[in-house]
Chain A
Amino acid sequence: MIKINNLYKNYGPKAAVKGISFSVQKGEIVGFLGPNGAGKSTTMNILTGYLSATDGTAEIAGYDVLDRAMEARKHVGYLPEQPPLYLDMTVNEYLNFVYDLKKAKGSRTKQLREICEKVGIADVRKRLIKNLSKGYKQRVGIASALVGDPEVLILDEPTVGLDPNQISEIRNLIRELGREKTIILSTHIIPEVMAVCERVVIINDGQIVADDKLSNLIDNASGNKLSVELDCPETEGKKLLSSVSGVKEVVCDRNKFIVTSDQQTDVRKKIFFAAAEKKIPILEIRKAEISLERIFADLTLKGDRA
């Protein structure tokens, strides 16, 4: 549904996006993750046709976003970082305006009523947008992205400014929408990605640093790491673990050791026998679980450390 190919965007001399490529299949919910200023919003703005790329192409539902902009835009619902609301209109007037603007088809009253019920703004439809709280404004923004029943939704930080209950409501809504629609969701809230997305694309400094299924990403990062707890002094334990063949690195974390091994070899048995030989009791040995936060930090801070 979405295809991005070698996308570049320069703001004057500054390159914001440096050769991004990825594609999203129909019905996927992709989390677009990255620190502030990584190029998330720029990429989304290019996808929706608000900005144009310096180089490269982007396609939505088979239409190039530049050459066949009108067709492409009909298939996209976009919620920018700051919802584009006319504060002097009521929610009802605003949604009707968006309906006309997007040249939406189908029964107007029915569609707008359904959307309002879905995002939970049915009770504020007659109020002026400027008098609504931030959470409600955000929801009106989401509602406007849904008008016209687009196949692709591009949501730029959709849960910003919502209270915890609303956040879980909106996440449920996004999951529900994801059954029929293709969704790209940008955020830097990691639990949100865990809760909603099947796949993550992590972007840092204008480049993609990871693009995989969430479960794969976590497995790969933690697959060759073990957490071992030994009943012995730190130096002795470190010496023992380092001597096991296949172990690449041993890091002492309080009284536990994080052992990094080669990808292929399972060193658990070897560690057991080595410890038994030295008569050092193993209190615990398990696969270390790496959180997405950790993966994110590893991937996005690399450049800064160097």
Chain B
Amino acid sequence: MKAVFKRELRSYFTSGIGLAYCSLFIFLANLSYQTTYVEQFSSNFVGIFGVILGNMSFLIPILTMRIWSEEKKQKTDQLLLTAPVTPMQLVMGKFMAAMTVYFISIILTFAYPIITYTYGVVEWRLIIGNYIAITCVAAAYIAICQFMSCLTESQIISAILSLATLLCFSMFHDIVGADIELLYKVASFISIELRYMNFLNGIFALSDIVYFISLAAFFLFINSRMIDKRRWS
């Protein structure tokens, strides 16, 4: 697992995808922080997490699109799958590497509370709660997109699949609308965006945290099953 983790992390930065992800992530977040909070002298910048959440739903598919599809295409999966390593270890190695890239990008946003603290008051508990919540969402997003990547050999298809799935998980309830009651209920239950509202409103909802983590665990699990299943095709 450590070997896969190290190789993945390295390739994020040699291929440029990791760098592109981090810079785009921080650029968009900075833009929002600058225009919404700095220019309006507001110290309540918790809304930035909503923006980050939205950005992640199209940035993470880019980060994860090559995780398995590229292995399949270059046939390097033959090396991984014939090595004395279990599928779950491979999945976790790759997942942790993507999480590390996410951590690097999120650490860059620590500048906001620090800047705000220098000039005003920071609601620390609210901010820390949101950092925890957004990290759990990121884990779910990465796990979902990583799974999508193992369904195809093409990075582009992998990215599109991931994007579509994440949209389902975040905005499906908007699209469905309240008219079809049952579908709306399901859509709002699975909606990550809707659940995240709690955290933006200052409620640290443990049930939602559990939901995000279970989502991540579920997709990591079926990811490992999927890899194993390929042998049987």
Contact = CB atoms under 8 A, between A and B. Distances in A.
Interface stretch (A20-28, A43-51, A192-200, A260-268): A43-51
Given A101-B4, A101-B85, A88 B231 contact: no
Contact of B6 (A45, A49, A87, A97): A97
B75 A84 contact: yes
B76 A101 contact: no
Interface in A29-50: 45, 48-50
Interface stretch (A71-79, A168-176, A177-185, A245-253): A71-79
Interface in B59-93: 74-86
Interface in A287-301: none
Interface in A59-100: 69-71, 73-74, 76, 78, 80, 82, 84-89, 93, 97-98, 100
A80 B84 contact: no
Contact of B74 (A51, A86, A103): A86
Interface in B161-205: none
Contact of B11 (A52, A80, A86): A86
Contacts of A93: 10
Majority secondary structure, B binding face: helix
B82 A52 contact: no
Contacts of A85: 74, 76
Q: Of A86, A87, A102, which is in contact with the most chain B CB atoms at under 10 Å from its CB?
A: A86
Contacts of B81: 49-50
B15 interface: yes
Contact of A101 (B3, B74, B77): B3
B56 to A, nearest CB: 25
B3 A80 contact: no
B225 interface: no
B74 A87 contact: yes
Nearest to B77: A84
A84 B83 contact: no
A159 interface: no
B82 A48 contact: yes
B150 to A, nearest CB: 15
Contacts of A82: 75
A101 B231 CA distance: 20
A144 interface: yes
A84 B2 contact: no
A103 B78 contact: no
A101 B233 CA distance: 25
B76 A86 contact: yes
B6 A50 contact: no
B79 to A, nearest CB: 4
Contact of A88 (B6, B14, B82): B14
B119 interface: no
Contacts of B84: 69-71, 73-74, 102-103
A100 B93 CA distance: 13
Nearest to B82: A48
Contact of A100 (B2, B14, B80, B231): B2
A2 to B, nearest CB: 15
Contacts of B4: 101
Given A50-B81, A50-B231, A70-B84, A100 B74 contact: no
Given A78-B78, A80-B75, A87-B74, A101 B83 contact: yes
B86 A84 contact: no
Contacts of B124: none
A50 B82 contact: yes
B199 to A, nearest CB: 38
A88 B3 contact: no
A82 B57 CA distance: 36
A53 B120 CA distance: 66
A101 B15 contact: no
Q: Of B10, B80, B83, which is in contact with the most chain A CB atoms at under 10 Å from its CB?
A: B83
Contact of B78 (A70, A80, A98): A80
A57 to B, nearest CB: 15
A84 B85 contact: no
Given A82-B75, A97-B6, A101-B3, A73 B83 contact: yes
B96 to A, nearest CB: 15
Interface in B1-54: 2-4, 6-7, 10-11, 14-15
Interface of A: 11, 45, 48-52, 69-71, 73-74, 76, 78, 80, 82, 84-89, 93, 97-98, 100-103, 144
Given A69-B84, A74-B84, 8 more contacts: A45-B78, A78-B82, A82-B75, A85-B76, A86-B7, A98-B83, A101-B3, A101-B83
6 closest cross-chain pairs (CB), A and B = A100-B3, A84-B79, A52-B231, A48-B82, A84-B76, A73-B84
